[in-house]
């Protein structure tokens, strides 16, 4: 259970219908009475709010003066704003119109319903853009593909005061579920592609370069368009790797010599082109990239390979592509598994960053003294204060970082701002640059005062792309530096175990943190710590602390930028 969810709507949504069950499994759902979407916004039970509005429920007479409609709904938009101020949870608004406009009515001048519809939509859209906890699902867009006549049902309206057909309910609940799911879970990071009959038609080892299907016409164009869509994903920050049963030189021959290849060798961050089991190959790639397998999407035309992947690595998302290749470009374009709410500037540099990472891992494996090697690569960490330009990156780090993350608390942008407003010194980002390139903003620290002597490490996370550089040493030194400014002696940390964050626990153990128990009286004033439910706390006494590996940051000990 992810918490409470309040569902309000302008007419019945048959909330007991089985289409809602996937949302009921995730949340305790409270249903507000129909037509009342203001009081749930004003209540302060900190639940996620979903509001479903149909224009025809809101406006009964489209001949009413726009100004009087505006007056009537001003209170609603005020309520959304004040809800945003007081709640930490997301509000998802779904808005659509159930009726089609007549061609003739709008062809010369906007009909009244068009004017009202546009005003309402614009209001919601600007609220969405202004306030980061508000999400807007434009039902008119969502319903375009299935078609209004399949989505809305006059019979259901007159019989049960529900605007939607069963199909409509299904599409609506799926859309809401998708947004809730993305709020709770990060998108996938890696696309693992087969080669033969996936990025081109035919088998390169048998058919040869001239005979494979790839190019301008027919099926060849479909494969080329599929590749174009893959390149688009790469530009959005998705990492592409190859898992192909082939002779390596045959595959690279296509990449190097076939003029219709849209995917280039330089796009491929890692590959395993051999005759081994693809599951083993993906495991190796996951280790190499420091990306966990549950961030992988696997695309292969061969049903046997897909079945094997599903049974050997169920955590990998194996796509079931349609038999007909011409449907592939549209399908990959519409995949939600990679979709994110916002793209940050950082996403566009992913390819270079992961390649630098692979290069770094290769070099460090071949060196005898790791710390000497790290000294030689000119690590340049910089502290960056949280501001509007990096807020979405900070939020993204919270959402996506799974491995080096002490508590894996997915703070929203709003919550991060609250840390900043409580004390600007107690939240900072770290940017890292070295000989392998500019890694961008890779770490976030949030601190909370506990008592006169102690401070709580609410968030410490480091992006996997800079693992192996002991950046945690440098970050810890910054934290200690800030603590000394406020005469704080104890750094209290909590480790919340997940499937993938053992690295963060190792950090506490290797950097001198001691386990903190109820009986330990290091500081009488620490009363706010809750030791219930197997929680594990640690503390670091900053008197006489020595930070391991800090010497590798030789020239770069200037903490503040």
Partner 1 sequence: MNLRQILIETFINSSIPENIDNLKIGDLDEWDSLGNFNLILAIEQNFGIQFDFDQLENLNSIAEITKALENDISNK
Binding site for partner 1 (CB under 8 A): 14, 16-18, 21, 155-156, 158-160, 166-167, 169
Angle 451-453-455 (CA atoms, 0-180°, nearest 5)? 65
Nearest distance, CB of residue 154 and partner 1, angstroms:
9
Nearest distance, CB of residue 8 and partner 1, angstroms:
17
Here the tokens at position 495 are 């480790």
Q: How far is CA 460 from CA 23, 210, 214, 287, in A?
A: 31, 54, 48, 22
Among residues 165 and 473, whose Cβ is nearest to partner 1? 165
Here the tokens at position 458 are 């609410």
CA nearest to 352, candidates 433, 273, 297, 431: 433
Largest CA distance in the chain: 81
Residues in Cβ contact with 276 at an 8 Å cutoff, skipping those fewer than 6 apart? none
Secondary structure of 359-405 as H, E, C letters? HHHHHHHCCCCHHHHHHHCCCEEEEEECCCCCHHHHHHHHHHCCCEE
* Sheet of strand 296-299, all strands in order from the earlier edge strand to the far edge: 268-273, 239-244, 190-193, 296-299, 317-318
Size of the chain, expressed as the number of residues it contains: 561
Among residues 80 and 169, whose Cβ is nearest to partner 1? 169
Nearest distance, CB of residue 159 and partner 1, angstroms:
6
Nearest distance, CB of residue 156 and partner 1, angstroms:
8
Among residues 155 and 518, whose Cβ is nearest to partner 1? 155
Among residues 10 and 405, whose Cβ is nearest to partner 1? 10
Nearest distance, CB of residue 16 and partner 1, angstroms:
6
Among residues 160 and 557, whose Cβ is nearest to partner 1? 160
Q: How far is CA 497 from CA 132, 363, 409, 457, 473, in A?
A: 29, 31, 11, 15, 21
Nearest distance, CB of residue 292 and partner 1, angstroms:
33
Among residues 159 and 275, whose Cβ is nearest to partner 1? 159
Quickly tell me which residue has 């002991």 as its tokens: 470
Per the CB < 8 A criterion, the answer to whether 84 and 131 are in contact is: yes
Among residues 155 and 485, whose Cβ is nearest to partner 1? 155
Region class of 468: left (phi > 0), else alpha (psi between -120 and 50), else beta: left
Nearest distance, CB of residue 155 and partner 1, angstroms:
5
Q: How far is CA 533 from CA 26, 411, 537, in A?
A: 22, 22, 12
Pairing mode, if any, of strands 427-434 and 380-385?
antiparallel
Residues in Cβ contact with 382 at an 8 Å cutoff, skipping those fewer than 6 apart? 430, 431, 432, 433, 561
Among residues 150 and 348, whose Cβ is nearest to partner 1? 150
Among residues 18 and 311, whose Cβ is nearest to partner 1? 18
Nearest distance, CB of residue 34 and partner 1, angstroms:
13
Nearest distance, CB of residue 12 and partner 1, angstroms:
8
What DSSP state is assigned to residue 164? B
Nearest distance, CB of residue 322 and partner 1, angstroms:
22
Nearest distance, CB of residue 18 and partner 1, angstroms:
6
Per the CB < 8 A criterion, the answer to whether 466 and 479 are in contact is: no
Among residues 169 and 313, whose Cβ is nearest to partner 1? 169
């Amino acid at each position: 259970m992810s918490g409470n969810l309040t569902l309000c709507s302008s007419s019945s949504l048959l909330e007991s219908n089985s289409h809602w069950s996937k949302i009921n499994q995730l949340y305790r759902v409270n249903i507000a009475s129909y037509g009342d979407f203001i009081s749930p916004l004003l209540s302060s039970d900190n639940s996620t709010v979903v509001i479903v509005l149909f224009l025809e429920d809101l406006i009964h007479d489209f001949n009413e003066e726009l100004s009087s409609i505006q007056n009537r709904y001003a209170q609603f938009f005020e309520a959304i704003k004040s809800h945003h101020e007081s709640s930490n949870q997301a509000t998802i608004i779904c808005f659509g119109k159930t009726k089609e406009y007549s061609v003739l009515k709008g062809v010369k001048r906007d009909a009244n319903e068009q004017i009202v519809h546009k005003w309402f939509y614009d209001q919601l859209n600007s609220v969405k853009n202004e306030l980061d906890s508000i999400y807007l699902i434009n039902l008119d867009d969502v319903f375009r593909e299935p078609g209004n006549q399949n989505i809305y049902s006059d019979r259901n309206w007159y019989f049960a005061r529900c605007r939607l057909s069963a199909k409509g309910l299904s599409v609506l609940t799926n859309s809401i579920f998708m947004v809730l799911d993305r709020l709770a879970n990060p998108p996938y990071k890696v696309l693992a592609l087969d080669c033969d009959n996936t990025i081109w038609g035919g088998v390169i080892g048998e058919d040869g370069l001239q005979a494979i299907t790839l190019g301008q016409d027919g099926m060849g164009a479909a494969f080329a368009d599929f590749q174009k869509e893959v390149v688009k994903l790469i530009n959005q920050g998705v990492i592409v790797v190859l898992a192909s049963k082939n002779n390596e030189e045959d595959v690279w021959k296509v990449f190097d010599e076939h003029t219709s290849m849209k995917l280039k060798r330089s796009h491929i961050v890692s590959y395993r082109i051999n005759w081994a089991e693809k599951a083993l190959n993906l495991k190796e790639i996951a280790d190499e990239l420091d990306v966990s397998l549950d961030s992988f999407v696997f695309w292969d035309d061969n049903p046997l390979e897909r079945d094997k992947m599903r049974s050997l690595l169920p955590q990998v998302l194996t796509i079931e592509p349609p038999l007909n290749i011409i449907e592939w470009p549209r399908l990959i374009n519409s995949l939600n598994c990679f979709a994110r709410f916002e793209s940050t500037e950082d996403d566009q540099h992913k390819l270079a960053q992961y390649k630098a990472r692979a290069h770094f891992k290769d070099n460090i494996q071949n060196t005898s003294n790791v710390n000497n090697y790290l000294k030689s690569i000119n690590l340049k960490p910089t502290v960056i204060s949280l501001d509007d330009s990096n807020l979405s990156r900070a939020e993204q780090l919270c959402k996506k970082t799974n491995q080096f993350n002490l508590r894996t608390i997915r703070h929203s942008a709003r919550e991060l701002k609250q840390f900043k407003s409580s004390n600007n010194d107690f939240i900072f980002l770290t940017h890292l640059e070295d000989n392998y390139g500019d890694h961008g903003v890779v770490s976030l620290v949030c601190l909370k005062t506990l008592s006169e002597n102690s401070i709580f490490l609410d968030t410490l996370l480091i992006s996997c792309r800079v693992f192996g550089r002991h950046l945690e040493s440098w970050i810890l030194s910054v934290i200690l530096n800030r603590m000394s400014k406020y005469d704080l002696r104890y750094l209290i940390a909590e480790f919340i175990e997940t499937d993938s964050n053992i690295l963060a626990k190792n950090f506490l153990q290797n950097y001198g943190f001691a386990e903190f128990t109820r009986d330990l009286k290091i500081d009488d004033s620490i009363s706010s710590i809750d030791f219930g439910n197997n929680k594990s706390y640690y503390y670091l006494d900053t008197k006489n602390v020595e930070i391991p590996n800090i010497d590798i940051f030789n020239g770069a000990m200037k903490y503040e930028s």
